[in-house]
Amino acid sequence: MANHIVASSSGGDFPAKLTKQVVLCSLIAAFGGLMFGYDIGISGGVTSMDDFLLKFFPSVYEKKHRAKENNYCKYDNQLLQLFTSSLYLAAVVCSWAAAFCCKRFGRKRTMQMAAAFFLVGVILNAASMNLYMLIAGRICLGAGIGFGNQAVPLFISEIAPAKYRGGLNVCFQMLITIGILIANVVNYFTSKIHPYGWRISLGGAGFPAIFLGLGSLLIVETPTSLIERGKTEEGLKALKTTRGVEDVQKEYEEIVRATETAKNVKHPFRNLIMKRSSWPQLFCGTILQVFQQFTGINVIMFYAPVLFQTMGLGADASLLSAVVTGSINSVSTLVAVFGVDKFGRRKLLIQAAVQMLISQVFVGAILTQHLKTTNAIPMPYAYLTVFLICVFVMGFAWSWGPLGWLIPSEIFPLETRPAGFFFAVSTNMICTFIIAQAFLTMLCQMRSGIFFFFAAWIVVMGSFAVFLLPETKGVPIDEMNERVWKKHWFWHRFFNPQDDDQQPAKC
Ligand code: BGC
C-alpha cells in the first residue's frame, strides 16, 4: 500500500497511515497555540499604547513622555510588568490542575476547559474598568493557557503516528506564531483607534478560544487516554480510525501494557521525583523549557515595540517592525514542520543555537556602541538591529521554539507523562514570568549587556544539545525508555540493569 506508513519499534512495527482525521484533530487542537500566541503578541503592543497607559499606568505614561528620559529605563515599572507576567503565574498553578484533569477526564475535556477559562479572561480584559479587573482577566487567561498548553501537545503526540509526530506537534508552535503575528497586526491598527483601541486588541483573544472550544467538539479523544481510563473498546476503535488500518493489535497491546504499568503508579508526581529512572526525562524535559525562555525570545515577542521605540524608531515603525519579526517567526516555523521528522531534533537545535548566538552578540555590540542614555540610534544601525533580530527569530522558530514543546511531550513513559509534562509546562511559565517581569528592569540596569547575558545562555544550551540530549525522531512514544534512554551514553546509568531486557550501549 503506497501510503502505508510503518513506524518501526523494538517490539515490532506499528502500521499506520497519516489519516485525515489525525491531521484535522491535530490542527483543531493546535488552536490552543493560537490562544497562547495571540496573548504573547498582544501584550507588548498594548503596553506601548498611550490610551492604555493613561488609563491604567499614568506614571508610566508620564515617564514615557518626559523629555530626555533615559533610553533604557522609560518603561521600567513593576506594575506594568505585572500586567504582562501575572498570566504566567496563574498558568503555572493551573497547569498542575490540568495535569490531573488530563489523566482523569482526558485530553479533549481539558482542552474544552482551557477554552472556557480563556473566554472569561477575554471578557474581563476587554471590559476592564480598573487595574483589578485587568489583572483578574489576565489570571483567567493564564488558567486557559495552563490548561491548553498542558493538554494540546500531549494530545497531538499521542494521536499522531510516530513517523509524523514531530511535524504534527510543531503545528502547535505554528499556531503560536500565527497568533503572535495576528496580534501584532491587530495592534498596528487598533493603536490608531482612540481611546479604546486596546479594548479591541484584548477582546480579539476571544476568537481563538471560540475556535478551540467549538473545534474540540469535533475531535476524538486519544486512544491512549481512552484505554488509560478503562474505555478499552472505544480505545481500540479510536486506534483503528486514527491509524487508518485494521491491523493495530501490536500497538494496542503496547498501549495496554503501558497503561497497566501506569495503573500501578499511584503517585506519578512522587514517582517522577523519587524514582531514579525518571530523572533523565524530568531533567531534559524541564531544562529544555528553561533554555527555550533564556534564548531571550520573549524579550522580542513581548517587548519588540518597546524595544524598537527604545532604539529611536517611531511608534508606527516599531509596531511595523514587530509585524515583520512576527511574519518571519511564522514562516520559519514551516522549516520545523517539514524538517523535524527528517533531520531530527538535535540537528535543528544545534544549528539554530549557532545562528542565534551570532545575532545576539551583534545586537549587543551595536547597541553598546550606538545607543547611549539619551540619544537616538543612527537609522542604519536601527535597521541593522531589526535585521539581526529577524535572523535570531528565524533560528528560534525552527528549533528551540517548537522543540521546547515537542520533546517534553514525547519523552515520558505513560505513567508519568501528564505529570512530567506538567513540570515542563510550568517551568516554561515560570521562566516566561521571570523574563516578562524582569526584562524592563534588566534593560534599565544592564542596558545593552542584556544581549550578552542571553548569548551566554545560548552557549550553554547549544552544548547541552550536543552532549546530553538524545535523538527521539521516529521512536514510538511508548518505547522511549527502551529505545532512547536506556541506550544513551550518559542517561543509561539511571536505569537499573536488572530491569533491562536490553544492554545499554557503552559509548
Ligand atoms: C514559546 C513562547 C514564545 C513563542 C515565540 C513559544 O514556543 O513558548 O514563549 O513567545 O514560542 O514564537
Q: What is the pLDDT of residues 372-430, one digit of tens each?
A: 766 677 888 888 888 999 999 999 999 999 999 999 999 999 989 999 999 999 999 99
Helix, strand, or coil here: 156? helix
User: Would the CB of 333 count as within 6 Å of ligand 1?
Assistant: no
Which residue's CA is the nearest one to ligand 1's atom 10? 298
Q: Is pLDDT at 4 greater than 50 in this prediction?
A: no
Cα of 370 vs centre of ligand 1, distance in Å, is 29
Q: Which atom of ligand 1 is nearest to the CA of 180?
A: 12
DSSP 13: E
Neighbour count for residue 79 (Cβ, 10 Å): 12
Predicted local confidence at residue 85, as pLDDT: 82
Predicted local confidence at residue 75, as pLDDT: 63
- Mutation test of ligand 1: which of 38, 292, 433 has the most ligand atoms closer than 8 Å to its C-beta? 292
Pairing of strands 5-9, 12-16: antiparallel
Predicted local confidence at residue 10, as pLDDT: 35
Residues in contact with 432: Cβ distance below 8 Å, sequence separation at least 6, in sequence order: 85, 88, 293, 298
Encode pLDDT of 345-380 as tens digits.
Answer: 999 999 999 999 999 999 999 888 887 766 677 888
Predicted local confidence at residue 390, as pLDDT: 93
Q: What integer is the mean pLDDT of 443-454?
A: 86
User: Would the CB of 304 count as within 6 Å of ligand 1?
Assistant: no
Cα of 198 vs centre of ligand 1, distance in Å, is 22
Predicted local confidence at residue 1, as pLDDT: 33
Encode pLDDT of 261-311 as tens digits.
Answer: 888 888 888 889 999 999 999 999 999 999 999 999 988 877 676 677 777
Q: Is pLDDT at 128 greater than 80 in this prediction?
A: yes
CA distance 355 to 458: 10
User: Would the CB of 298 count as within 6 Å of ligand 1?
Assistant: yes
Which residue's CA is the nearest one to ligand 1's atom 11? 401
Lowest mean pLDDT among 48-62, 168-182, 330-344, 397-411: 48-62
CA distance 148 to 193: 31
Which residue's CA is the nearest one to ligand 1's atom 8? 401
Predicted local confidence at residue 298, as pLDDT: 85
Q: Which atom of ligand 1 is nearest to the CA of 173?
A: 7
User: Would the CB of 329 count as within 6 Å of ligand 1?
Assistant: yes
CA distance 60 to 66: 10
Residues in contact with 498: Cβ distance below 8 Å, sequence separation at least 6, in sequence order: none
User: Would the CB of 177 count as within 6 Å of ligand 1?
Assistant: yes
- Mutation test of ligand 1: which of 297, 333, 428 has the most ligand atoms closer than 8 Å to its C-beta? 297
CA distance 120 to 438: 27
Q: Is pLDDT at 69 greater than 80 in this prediction?
A: no
| pLDDT band, residue 74 (cuts 50/70/90) | low
| pLDDT band, residue 455 (cuts 50/70/90) | very high
Cα of 203 vs centre of ligand 1, distance in Å, is 21
Q: Is pLDDT at 176 greater than 90 in this prediction?
A: yes
Q: What integer is the mean pLDDT of 96-105?
A: 94
CA distance 404 to 288: 6
Q: Which long-range contacts (CB under 8 A, 24 or more apart) does 346-352 make?
A: 346/465, 346/466, 346/469, 346/471, 348/398, 348/399, 348/403, 349/399, 349/400, 349/403, 349/461, 349/462, 349/465, 349/469, 350/462, 350/465, 350/466, 351/395, 351/399, 352/395, 352/396, 352/398, 352/399, 352/400
| pLDDT band, residue 99 (cuts 50/70/90) | very high
| pLDDT band, residue 21 (cuts 50/70/90) | very high
Encode pLDDT of 318-351 as tens digits.
Answer: 777 778 888 999 999 999 999 999 999 999 999 9
Q: What integer is the mean pLDDT of 142-161?
A: 95
Residues in contact with 299: Cβ distance below 8 Å, sequence separation at least 6, in sequence order: 307, 435, 439, 450, 454
Cα of 40 vs centre of ligand 1, distance in Å, is 8
Q: Is pLDDT at 437 greater than 90 in this prediction?
A: no
Helix, strand, or coil here: 175? helix
**pTM, rounded to two decimals:** 0.88
| pLDDT band, residue 71 (cuts 50/70/90) | low
Helix, strand, or coil here: 315? helix
- Mutation test of ligand 1: which of 38, 152, 176 has the most ligand atoms closer than 8 Å to its C-beta? 176
Please, what is the average pLDDT of the chain? 88
Q: Is pLDDT at 2 greater than 80 in this prediction?
A: no
Most confident of 178-182, 443-447, 502-506: 178-182
CA distance 158 to 152: 10
- Mutation test of ligand 1: which of 173, 178, 340 has the most ligand atoms closer than 8 Å to its C-beta? 173
Q: Which helix (H) or strand (E) holds 8?
A: strand 5-9
Q: Three-state SS string across 98-138, please? A: HHHHHHHHCHHHHHHHHHHHHHHHHHHHHCCCCHHHHHHHH
Which residue's CA is the nearest one to ligand 1's atom 9? 298
> Residue 487 — φ and ψ, nearest 5°?
-110, 0
Q: Is pLDDT at 216 greater than 90 in this prediction?
A: yes
Predicted local confidence at residue 444, as pLDDT: 81
Residue 195: cis peptide before it, omega within 30 degrees of 0: yes
C-alpha cell at 193: 483607534
Shortest CA distance to 188 belongs to which of 79, 298, 44?
44
User: Would the CB of 399 count as within 6 Å of ligand 1?
Assistant: no
Angle ∠(406,426,442) on CA atoms, nearest 5: 105
DSSP 377: -
| pLDDT band, residue 505 (cuts 50/70/90) | very low
